Amino acid sequence: MGVPIGMMAYGPVTQVLLVTYGWRGTMLLVGGISFHLVACAMLVRLDPSSSSPDNEQYQEVSVNDGDENQSAGEGRDCTDDKTDNSKKSCCDPDHRQNRTGMCCRNIVKAIDMALLTDVRFVLLICARCTANFTYSAWVVYMVSHGQFQGLSEIQASFLPTAFGVGNVIGKLVLPFLQQIGIKPSMTFWACFGAGIVSVSFLLDAFIRPFIGQLALTGFVGVGYGVVFQALDVMVRFLVSDDRFVSVLGWQGMFVGVAGTLGGLISGWIYEWTGGFSIVLCVFAGVTLLSIPFFVTEALYAKRKAL
């Protein structure tokens, strides 16, 4: 919920700062606010002392003089043997090769390249990339599109607020439905959200009144909230807990690339056409591409379960 709530305040607050302090002052203030993430991360850091139970205490163990001398002698012999073996092994080419191979195997194991051969994971990542391609570009050009449609700077600054409100609503709909006993499948929910986003983009390309812009931007936020929530649930139950970090890592890499390309390509289309109408039509088409990925993933999972 942090992203949509922050989106609600970001547009109006940034506009007020821009009018008051200019671009440089606004960037300094926004950077200072963002720097609070460092302090928040330090505050939520796990205390090492809290990891051990309170009832765990060390106890003294009595040792006889003979046992102590014997253990000291054995420890000295073992240390000498280990030192000699380590000197020999460091000069051994086979040992170096084994260590290099072991490091490579550990790196490959940590990266978990086997996830890229999982058909369901690839399909869900493709669906997430298509959604994030348009999401990142829309966040960048949302206010500019409003101004291009004839809105003032103050009016356009409230579009992110409408988007954030819609996003919160989209994230709350599914939990509310589950509370009243309605449990739709995640595939249907993701396709439904993608349809809302696509239709809203098509209408937004031609609607000029301020109220219409606010409403459609809110519907876009609702659709994205539904899509991303369904995707998070499907990805979470795709693998076991020990591989979930690898899933998040691969997902973050591909989604980041898709978001970067979304903003870049949208800017190129705007320069070629001189408007955002074609850009929003492209957004609608790309968002619809996620629906075949969702349906294919559901059919493959059902077939694999048989």
CATH number of the domain to which 170 belongs:
1.20.1250.20
Structural domain includes residue 99: no
* Cα 273 to chain centroid, rounded: 32
Least confident of 101-115, 176-190, 210-224, 229-243: 101-115
Q: How confident is the model at residue 265 (pLDDT cuts 50, 70, 90)?
A: very high
Structural domain includes residue 146: yes
The 10s digit of each residue's pLDDT in 90-102 is: 555 655 667 777 7
The 10s digit of each residue's pLDDT in 12-41 is: 777 777 778 787 888 888 888 888 778 877
Structural domain includes residue 67: no
Expressed as residue numbers, the domain containing 200 is 2-23+112-305
Structural domain includes residue 94: no
The 10s digit of each residue's pLDDT in 135-154 is: 989 988 888 899 888 888 88
Query: pLDDT value at position 82?
Result: 46
Structural domain includes residue 152: yes
The 10s digit of each residue's pLDDT in 218-262 is: 999 999 999 999 999 999 888 887 788 888 888 999 999 999 999
Tally of structural domains, the chain? 1
Residue with tokens 């391609």: 133
| Dihedral pair phi/psi, residue 87, rounded to 5° | -65, -40
Query: pLDDT value at position 178?
Result: 83
Nearest to 230 by CA among 173, 184, 189: 189
Structural domain includes residue 212: yes
The whole-angstrom separation of Cα 135 and Cα 137 is: 6
Angle, in degrees to the nearest 10, between helices 277-288 and 186-204: 170
Structural domain includes residue 151: yes
The 10s digit of each residue's pLDDT in 48-68 is: 665 545 445 545 555 555 554
Examine the pLDDT at 134 and tell me if it is beyond 70. yes
Structural domain includes residue 262: yes
Tokens for 184, please give them: 């739709």
The whole-angstrom separation of Cα 281 and Cα 202 is: 6
